[in-house]
Structure 1
Amino acid sequence: MKQILLFFIVFFSSITLFGQAKRVAMLEPIASSEGVSLMVKNMVRGELTKSLSKEPGFDAFTRIDIDKMMKEFKFQESGMVNDEQRLKLGQMSGADYVCISKITKDDKSYYLEAFLVHLESGKIDNPASAFVEGGYAFVNSACQKIAAEMVGKKLANKIPPTRQVAVSHSTYSAPKKKTPVKSKFKVYDVSVNFKNHKIMVIDRDFTEKMTRDNAVRACRNLNYGGFNDWRLPTKEEMKVMFKNRYDLSGLEQRECYWYNAKGKIWVHFPMRDTWSASYDHHKYKVRCVRTVN
């Protein structure tokens, strides 16, 4: 009888242990550019906290003293502290993870980045980002996307079902042709090994220079102008872009740009016409393109 009771005690204790939610301390977002208001920072923090708490197995929280506590360790600047400091942070805050987020403002658009740092190991899990076009009114959906990616969910683009409409053939008349709207994006022909394709070049650089990984992520997550399949240009595409640089607003010949060199992310310096590798932590300009079918 005692053995049976002991078994159930151990069994239910293990269920409780494994059922505990991972506690995440939400830090104040870092403003990576000018013009990010306190209201936007509070909105991003609040929406991330709410969205992350809705994810199964996670409990996100904020505390009045959490920011002061983290700043004492200079944790928010880089997300990296030594083992002893991490353990102390965990004990003081009661958290398993901290969430570090950054906000970059470009006119009426925002670029949001966030990642979780495991306090015990120091491991950074599933960094995520989202581009918010149209002002802070769209921050909510962006934070939901980021929260889902931070917990390891893979998101698929949802295509709305086609609406079926019954049409009476006796009264049906062909719809009037709409006058095509001129795109604000430039489209160019690119030839590689005698094979041609077209690219669409976005109408601006990102305001902030970025590291290699952030540049790839920024283009991949960009939803702009009605398109969400932006990417970094290849070497051949970059050549075409700078050949037509006077047509492309803001493309700067004195700056370095990231490009995709057959799967490796390298840097192009137009002024010297150099194409080379670079260190991970170096930051350069980003101009995204997409393939036009």
Structure 2
Amino acid sequence: MDYNMQLKMLFLCKEYLDEEDNFWELIACNVGYITKYYLNHIYKEPCMTSYLTGQMWVIELLNGHKTRCFNVLRMYPPLFMELCTYLESRYGLKPWLRMSIIEKVGIFVYVLAHGAPNRLTQERFQHSGKTVSRVFKQVLYAMDRMSRDILVPRDPSFKEVPRQLANDARYMPYFKDCIGAIDGTHISIIVPEEDQLHYRGRKGIPFTNVLAGCDFDLLFTYMLTGWEGSAHDSRIFLDTISDPRLKFPKPPEGKYYFVDKGYPERKGYLTPYRKTRCHLSEF
């Protein structure tokens, strides 16, 4: 075999070895990717391994001392069970295969009662953060539907004079036609960074501006949420009383609400006299 033929054979062998090395390198890469995908998306090491699951913990609270239940859920067991029954039978809250109604409502009440963050709620109820968020939203939507039936005037026609006025000579007969009070309040919230400018209030942090109405029994008769903290009270007030979709209980002829001085004067809504100091200590 001449010299040129030998060189050609050497080059062919080298190309074959290079191709074989690349082949095995490709196999190794694919095995690595498959293993990584399996560990990240198929096999997951259990994180919530506590013996006392969320369901067991809520049942323990309901069957234990009533003070313990009240301290944790801010309500006694009979009221908690009644709330669960109402949300399920009237407002569409459904159980899951692995989660009951009482555990769902327990998560919702626990978060509200203690301002518990998602991670702490995960550990307490032994569920993932995604599950906690999903359950909280489901119960929140059911509570919103229930609130529309609860936050209404006790007497929609406003024919009766409130007993707090009728039995107090300081108010009768001057305010016998007053049916309640309307005011606004700012509640701090967490919003995405791109929306924080619209919700930032006077204190420099994101707020939502809430309009609320109550009667003389100090019971809420109307609640409107969702407005940005930068929105003025008068804008929210005018939009609320002019939009029939919001179902605001307007005062009938001859009746009126007390409203804050930040609201504009309208028929049926009495604002304080400007530059007149009220002697609050007398009341």
- The interval holding the TM-score normalised by the smaller chain is under 0.3
Name the larger-Rg structure. Answer: 2
Q: Which structure dedicates a bigger proportion of its chain to helix?
A: 2
Higher fraction of strand: 1
Q: Report the TM-score, using the length of structure 1 for normalisation.
A: 0.27
TM-score w.r.t. the length of structure 2 is 0.27
Higher RCO, Cα 8 Å, sep 6+:
1
